[in-house]
Structure 1
């Protein structure tokens, strides 16, 4: 059984999550403790050493993010729970961590648990949470490292190393400036949302490009040329928005 701790200041939310886990994952979880604050959660984690922690973000006395400062080494995986769809979600996504929006439904929960079960263990949890804390302390244009989920685990890539991203069905190919390509197990829409909006722009249903590597735009052919010589299409619907973004970026 998976040893887990639930940390949430709302008793009803604690009980609902526990009941949902019991109903849809029978005999899979052992909820060793339910806590209503960061402080009690820290004690429970140190006492029981759980494999997984369900952590509410917004609590009265301390934010859920403050929990990590009490641990030198993170040995547990985290699934964040929040009623606020925009609250720090981009930073969480950029760190390849999972989150659930309240009220939690069993479909989203199933996906998060499936990720947890297939995810590589070891130092990955530590790296993702360290990255999260970095991302929480910078604004959008200063974001450097982003953790992209892959089949093997995740790939850390600096945003300024990305030339463009291309949709490949439900996956996304990330082309780096040195010529290599990495495949993220997420859609282009997901990847677009976690890239710095000041530098990256959707130019087509298939492409998001880094504006810093644009060399020229051919208005007649509706093609943008990048520093590596590649030419990518710009859709009619995206053209005006793309041109405005180029002018603002320069």
Structure 2
């Protein structure tokens, strides 16, 4: 049973979430609901929850104000937020769970299931500090990304990524130090995150960092030689867009 607290400044929203959890998530027990940062912190200290649903924006406060005042985040958090593209991007770069309002039942059930599968909370503080740092950087210059692996999370500099290669619903990250990291998300997920960081999807199975390309070889689609010596095929469908992007660098 997941002992759960809801921190949300709208009582109606809290009650709605509690009712949905009761009906669709049988392993979740809501032990308390609070409306602000101070009362939320007190509730967390008192109840020692497994899971906290945390509103991003409350009256003059944010959920991150709460997290900055907790030293040991030994519980999981699912943020709830109205659509904010920049905040959502910060969450994705930091591998943080979130739900958009109004709450979608299927997405809620999926988020709770993913939380139940987490066995180790030691990276939580790092994840949330990273998200806070990204949210404060309004220039959209995120420098690090959290990668979920079978052993936990790995935090890497984006500039150290040479390329990504898909394998079914998983993605290999190939880094400058010759490390290969297998991540449990699709290459499409990372294409959406990294395209603004000078990455290009040259092939259905390949996403490359244009800063690490050393040569392009002509051909039907051609192929790119990367800084690690690897050759990455360019699909015919992507060739023109790829060459146009290269010429604009």
- Same fold (TM > 0.5): yes
Q: Give the match for residue 52 of structure 2.
A: 53
- Does residue 57 of structure 2 align to residue 67 of structure 1? no
Give the alignment of 1:1-250 within 5 angstroms. Answer: 1-26=1-26, 28-84=27-83, 86-138=85-137, 142-195=141-194, 197-221=196-220, 222-249=222-249
Question: In structure 1, how many angstroms separate the alpha carbons of the residues matched to 2:191 and 2:99?
Answer: 20
Contact kept, 8 Å, 2:76 with 2:115, in 1: the verdict is yes
CA deviations on 1:51-70 (whole Å, 9 max, x unpaired) are 21101112231122221121
**Alpha-carbon separation, structure 2, partners of 1:97 and 1:41:** 19
Q: How many residues align?
A: 248
Q: Distance in 2 between matches of 1:96 and 1:130?
A: 12
Measure the CA separation in 1 of the matches of 2:213 and 2:76.
39
Q: 2-side partners of 1:96 and 1:141: how far apart?
A: 17
The whole-number CA distance in structure 1 between the counterparts of 2:214 and 2:91 is: 33
- CA deviation string 1:72-97 (max 9, x = no partner): 22222111111215241111111111
SS in 1 for 2:214: strand
Segments of structure 1 that go 5 or more residues without pairing to the other structure are none
Q: Unmatched 5+ residue regions in structure 2?
A: none
Q: Is the CA contact (8 Å cut-off) linking 1:75 and 1:125 kept in structure 2?
A: yes
TM-score, normalisation: structure 2: 0.91
For residues 137-196 of structure 1, the C-alpha deviation after alignment (integer angstroms, 9 at most, x for no partner) is: 335664222111112222222112211011111111111122221111001111222336
Q: 1:69 to 1:141 in 2, by over 3 A?
A: closer
| Compared CA separation, residues 158 and 87, structure 1 to 2 (3 A) | closer
SS at match of 1:182: strand
Q: What is the CA distance between 1:198 and its match in structure 2?
A: 2.8
- In the aligned structure 2, how far is the partner of 1:178 from the partner of 1:141? 26
Instruction: Flag the 1:196–1:156 CA change in 2: closer, same or farther, 3 A.
Output: farther
